[in-house]
Structure 1
Amino acid sequence: MAAAAVPQVHIESVQTGLPTRVVEPDRTRLIAVAAPPLPEAALQRRFRAVLYYRGGEQKAEWEEGVWVKESLGEVLCFYPEMAGRLRRRGDGSWEVKLNDAGVRFQQATVEATMEDFLADKDRVRKESALAPWIDVTAEDPDMCSLLFMQLNRFQDGGYAVGVSCTTLLADPLALARFLLAWARTHAEMKEQNKAAIRPMMQYMAYFQRPEICCKRIRSYPIDSAASAEDNGLHAHTALFRTTNAATAASPESRRALARACIARASEELGGAGAGIRAPPRFSLVVAPEDSARGGTTIETVTADAGGGHAALEAAQWSDLGLEELTLRDAKPVQVSCRIVTRGDEGLVVVMPDGDGFLVSATIPM
């Protein structure tokens, strides 16, 4: 009896979404590193989101891909850092150079129905194929994209938008706000320009349809993408919220907040029978309140000083608002979020949110 074929992902197009307007020269955003050098593993820590949608006709999916690139270019004018590149500074810190290098955008087909994919008990691992990532190299960081987006089409017409972004560029909350702004821009552009641009869009989509051009850039088994990230997926993330802005007003209070979150996340795992203890040290990433004027800070914190007594409320990934990301007049039927790390260090990301902070605490398992 012949073995069942291993489902594959076929990459049909690889493009770069560029801002439609040139950013002002010499703009940068600082990433202050408390104790350089920054380990290369820190460059790969990222937030991954996959949003699943019910689909329609195949032709419409590929036409949608053309609109995705067009709307990305427009929204990047208001979020130019998303199209930037990392650059090392002389003092050991880093910066995001706002140089219009662009966002990597791919279109892919998946040899599975969306229904079967969502029901797969190994789905979390396999989502690596839907939201790919290419490592940022410490030697040539300016050649590496910091944000990847992939539009995946399933065999039953459903589709998924997969996004991966390094936490040094954008924290999960900031990335979610960018994606929501992109979705609004996407809908507005389609509505305003449908009559004038639709013929051109259909023409471009025609040549991108795989059943017509019969050319694929590359194909690979879904499992192979999952296996490549196995180490990074063995982590548990808990989300917390604190409404007291003074809780993170100073570096030491932010460390105390981070220790409290790591301790609570470890307790959650311990309560689930995983037998996980808090890591002895972890990276603390603090996002700026205003990305246009402030910079990100990153430092290594030891967990041996106690977890503190910060007033924490449990939060959920749904607090990011991605369940409201509407494409083609439909909201996602499911949203999957995850922080992918490497190494044995934990990771805490402090994100300003109104009068308080949303905090993610990730510990290795």
Structure 2
Amino acid sequence: MEVHGKGNVPSQSLSELQILTIMSVPPLKVTEPRRVRKVLISDEHTNAIHGCYQIVLCYENVKQGDHGWYMAGWIVESLARVLLDHPLLAGRLQRMDGTGFEILANDSGIRLLEACYPTSLSDFLELNKRNQHLKTELVFWKEIDAQCPQFSPLCYVQVTNFECGGYIIGISCSLLLAEVFLVENFLGKWAEIHHNMSLQRGEIQRPVFYHPPMKNSKSLPLVNRSESESGVQSLVFKIITEDADSREEMGRELAMLCVEEAERKLESDLGSEFCVMVKECSEVIKVESWSRGEGRELKLKYEMRGSRWEEFAVQEVAFNEGNKPVHVCSWIDYVRNGYVMTVPLPNLKNNAFAVILVSPPLSSLSF
């Protein structure tokens, strides 16, 4: 690997990131019975399947053997193990006749990429302060093909290594499955499995899936790298209500409520039409449009507050003991229009929801 710009903070271009390895990681065992999640959506709203949730976790090396080349190798096994409990992440979308799509846990796998970047982690983070678009180099996303969705992965993981130690784990996940990260604590479970593996492997230092950096290595040709082109911005709300209505109906009403609250906070009109995605249950998601003036008058007893991505526990994810991320950022991208997603939260006493609102591109807004 060539070395560039040691000493002062370099001025790398995005093209200097190298993708060196690509593989698919299925669950450790065949998923039986196959899980299925229906995505009820009309043809006019198929754009709603393109959005993705992205997260970047930055780690320094705190001990020998903790660097990213080993980390990526061990991740293959720990990721395969955690997918046993979340097989839909390794599945694929397929079309259903007339009613939309379904996500089938067919074990096609999460796509895993290994990459390197020719600077130190600290220098890269400094560069990112000046150019926020650099973070898009740390995640990979290829939009789902609505015509042939069965060939499109629903989740990507990229491990990027830096000179002088340090690595970054970047994850992109379809919004149709984003609650696995935001509600079901997928990252925490994955990190726990990974840590337990490190305690059990004893004297084994090098993972089976180990791809060391090679001199004069060339980046694999890739197209459709993840780029923040949409300019969308997102707000997160948490709502608790004692209303007795069905969660399906309540999800729509609360989505509308959050649009109004966001407009009050931002002092801006977010538009008259939104795409609303409601998770009715673990097996069904419904996507529909909502225009102002529709729906009943809200008479809910509720408690609503603004939330932050950090509240979803991503700051504490340590794959190796004592090595928490030094920097974390999360965002939503590839949403072309206004979009609201409501996800039930586990709560025994009340109806609790996380509501994620994605606004259309508005350059005048600041969050």
What's the TM-score, normalizing by structure 1? 0.84
CA distance in 1, matches of 2:214, 2:158: 19
Find the partner of 1:287 among 266, 276, 279.
Answer: 279
Find the partner of 1:300 among 273, 286, 289.
Answer: 289
CA distance in 2, matches of 1:246, 1:325: 35
The structure in which a higher percent of residues are helix is 1
**Alignment-derived partner of residue 71 in structure 2:** 64
In the alignment, is the contact (CA less than 8 A) between 2:181 and 2:187 conserved in 1?
Answer: no
Identity %: 25
1:152-200: CA deviation from partner (whole Å, max 9, x where unpaired): 11234221110001111333644761121111111111211233x435x
Find the partner of 1:190 among 195, 198, 203.
Answer: 198
**Which stretch shows the higher mean deviation, 42-51 or 22-31?**
22-31
In the alignment, is the contact (CA less than 8 A) between 1:19 and 1:102 conserved in 2?
Answer: yes
Following superposition, the deviation at residue 26 of structure 1 comes to 4.6
Following superposition, the deviation at residue 325 of structure 1 comes to 0.7
Find the partner of 1:216 among 210, 215, 218.
Answer: 218
Number of aligned residue pairs: 341
CA distance in 1, matches of 2:327, 2:184: 15
Match of 1:105, as an amino acid? L
Which portions of structure 1, spanning 4 or more consecutive aligned residues, are displaced by more than 6 angstroms? none
In the alignment, is the contact (CA less than 8 A) between 2:19 and 2:116 conserved in 1?
Answer: yes
In the alignment, is the contact (CA less than 8 A) between 2:39 and 2:101 conserved in 1?
Answer: yes
Structure 1 SS opposite 2:303: coil
**Which stretch shows the higher mean deviation, 87-96 or 113-122?**
113-122
Find the partner of 1:117 among 109, 120, 124.
Answer: 124
**Alignment-derived partner of residue 29 in structure 1:** 37
Structure 1 portions without partners, runs of 5+? 271-275
Residue 348 to residue 245, structure 1, CA distance change in 2 (3 Å): farther
Find the partner of 1:327 among 316, 319, 341.
Answer: 319
In the alignment, is the contact (CA less than 8 A) between 1:58 and 1:157 conserved in 2?
Answer: no
Q: CA RMSD in A?
A: 2.7
Following superposition, the deviation at residue 204 of structure 1 comes to 4.9
Match of 1:358, as an amino acid? A
Following superposition, the deviation at residue 323 of structure 1 comes to 0.9
**Alignment-derived partner of residue 94 in structure 1:** 101
**Alignment-derived partner of residue 254 in structure 2:** 257
Match runs of 1:98-247 below 5 Å = 98-119=105-126, 120-171=128-179, 173-174=181-182, 177-195=185-203, 197-199=204-206, 201=207, 204-205=209-210, 208-212=211-215, 214-218=216-220, 228-231=227-230, 234-244=231-241, 246=243
Find the partner of 1:358 among 345, 348, 354.
Answer: 354
Structure 2 portions without partners, runs of 5+? 1-9, 363-367
In the alignment, is the contact (CA less than 8 A) between 1:96 and 1:169 conserved in 2?
Answer: no
